[in-house]
Amino acid sequence: MDFSWSEEQAAFRKEVIRFAKEELNDDVAKRDRDEEFPFDFWKKCAAFGIQGLPVPPEYGGGGADTLTTVCALEALGYGCKDNGFLFSLNAHMWTTEIPLMAFGTEEQKRRYLPKLISGEWIGLHCMTEPGSGSDAYSLKTRAERKGDRYVINGSKTFITNTIYGDLFIVFANVDPAKGANGVTGFLIEKGTPGLIVGQKLHKMGLRTSPMSEVALVDCEVPAENILGKEGSGQAIFTHSMEWERTCILASHLGMMQRLQETCVKYARERRQFGEPIGKYSAIGNKIADMEVRLETGRLLVYKAAWLKSQGRHALREASMAKLYVSEACVQSCLDAIQIHGGYGYMTEYEMERDLRDAISGKLYSGTSEIQRVIIAGFHGL
């Protein structure tokens, strides 16, 4: 076992932090208030190589292993305070690029991956529906084969990146009699007739990441736009979720480290009753707990990423990482606010935004409850 980053990874991590601090922090509070997505950040990240990190070089990517990718995402979360933007990046990478890489035809990969990596296009997937969230495969969207095309009808909700999205992976059932085995993924480009992006949905947090409903009204797509095969939607979606649950909260780890360092600094400087407040165990204990949560979360995320770097599956480990880090991050945000007292509650101090953003981590990519179901399920429960 080796718990250290290689020299190359450590240098890359440092460079990502420098990039994120210098390039990805303008006007976060204002954009959060105005719900503005930072296009320029997207382009800068693409130029830096973030979107292409896990994609092989033959498609224009960096070809990084999962552990190195997680290292970079953690560094981004540490250096960049715009959690909504990072969420959009993650949605793009894990629910569009990764399934394209694993299930796409060579032609599909050549057509789409270079655009998704270069920052020219933004990707997203459409799974959740008004009536199907945790029970994802009970979706009602239907795809009916008509000659060499499919006609898709249905509605999706809570879809990330929609408003600026260029490539949609839409899940629909081609044969409801088969239940989950009829669920199929379709690649649909922006502007396709019948693909309708609804009004922006307003959220508690992650406000710089656009979200809306999507309607499919007699949306016709060529048969070659199927991702994988008919009925492989279940495998595609589970594959995406395994990746997403492994990697998406790496940026939370970075946020947790940033918060902890902010709290340590404040606890040393802020004096009450003649002493720095960090001298009081009520404060010191909170900071210690923040550190333990951070290190425990790292072990879980790194283990899942290591498994994937070895070419192995990590559904259980990814669920444990996602469950733990999402809940630990919320608690660390609450502790950071408590340590800062009234200041922590002020928008200017930015912790209330981190808390609002962190809460969503317990909901997206499978709620905490679903992660527990998956973990218990491995014991036949």
Q: Which residues bind other proteins (CB under 8 A)?
A: 102-103, 136-137, 178, 180-181, 228-229, 231-232, 234-235, 238-239, 242, 311-313, 315-316, 373-374, 377-378, 380-381
Amino acid in position 193: P
Least distance to other proteins, CB of residue 374, Å? 6
Nearest to 283 by CA among 304, 269, 297, 303: 269
Do residues 119 and 42 make contact, with C-beta atoms less than 8 angstroms apart?
yes
For other proteins, the closer of residues 202 and 312 by Cβ is 312
Query: Can you tell me the distance from the alpha carbon of 102 to that of 9, in angstroms, rounded to the nearest whole number?
Result: 25
Do residues 345 and 290 make contact, with C-beta atoms less than 8 angstroms apart?
no
Annotated catalytic sites, by residue?
Answer: 244
For other proteins, the closer of residues 18 and 313 by Cβ is 313
From first CA to last CA, the distance across the chain in angstroms is 31
Query: Can you tell me the distance from the alpha carbon of 329 to that of 249, in angstroms, rounded to the nearest whole number?
Result: 9
Query: Can you tell me the distance from the alpha carbon of 142 to that of 84, in angstroms, rounded to the nearest whole number?
Result: 31
Least distance to other proteins, CB of residue 117, Å? 20
Which tokens go with 243? 């990746």
For other proteins, the closer of residues 72 and 101 by Cβ is 101
Do residues 155 and 164 make contact, with C-beta atoms less than 8 angstroms apart?
no
For other proteins, the closer of residues 1 and 381 by Cβ is 381
Phi first, then psi, for residue 228 (nearest 5°) are 75, -130
Query: Can you tell me the distance from the alpha carbon of 52 to that of 279, in angstroms, rounded to the nearest whole number?
Result: 46
- What is the crossing angle of helices 315-340 and 250-269, to 10°? 20
β-sheet bridge partners, residue 212: 159, 200
Whole-Å CA distances, 258 to 59, 77, 85, 114, 264: 34, 8, 17, 33, 10
For other proteins, the closer of residues 132 and 331 by Cβ is 132
Least distance to other proteins, CB of residue 154, Å? 19
Amino acid in position 203: K
For other proteins, the closer of residues 134 and 285 by Cβ is 134
For other proteins, the closer of residues 76 and 247 by Cβ is 247
Least distance to other proteins, CB of residue 196, Å? 28
3-state secondary structure of 184: strand
Least distance to other proteins, CB of residue 103, Å? 7
Q: Residue 192's Cα: distance from chain center in Å?
A: 26
Which tokens go with 48? 């830096």
Least distance to other proteins, CB of residue 304, Å? 13
- In the chain, beta strands by DSSP E: 123-126, 142-146, 149-160, 167-173, 183-189, 195-200, 211-222, 226-227, 271-272, 275-276
Least distance to other proteins, CB of residue 237, Å? 8
Residue located via tokens 């009536």 = 131
State how beta strands 142-146 and 149-160 pair.
antiparallel
Least distance to other proteins, CB of residue 239, Å? 5
For other proteins, the closer of residues 183 and 358 by Cβ is 183
